[in-house]
Amino acid sequence: MADLDNLSADMDAANLYTEEIVTDRKMGTIHVLTPITPEGAKDPTRAPIFTGEVQIMTQMGPLPISFDIPAASVAEAVSKYGEAAKEGVRQTLERWADRDEEEKECV
């Protein structure tokens, strides 16, 4: 059972974002995180954050992979999606390989 007395579920009012999802309904999605003030207005002092999602098929079924997209606009994020997705998949496969090696060493 979780120790509820030590559970911290406070939100950081100085680090709030709204989230929109952009998709072409074919390949994947881009999450657009737009910074906002505690009052809900757009915060022009902070840049938006773009993250992408793609799925790869594995022996155990589809594996969702999330990755950052360095961009300043939706148009730029869309144009960089493919390369960012490839890099996200590459990093995920590397982590899997590293984990497999660690598990083999433990046996």
Token couple for 92: 């995920």
What pTM, to 2 d.p., does this model score?
0.79
Q: What is the pLDDT of residues 6-27, one digit of tens each?
A: 888 889 999 999 999 999 998 8
CA distance 39 to 67: 29
CA distance 96 to 56: 13
37: CB partners within 8 A, 6+ apart:
16, 43
Reported confidence tier of residue 99, pLDDT bands at 50, 70, 90: confident
Please name the amino acid found at residue 17: Y
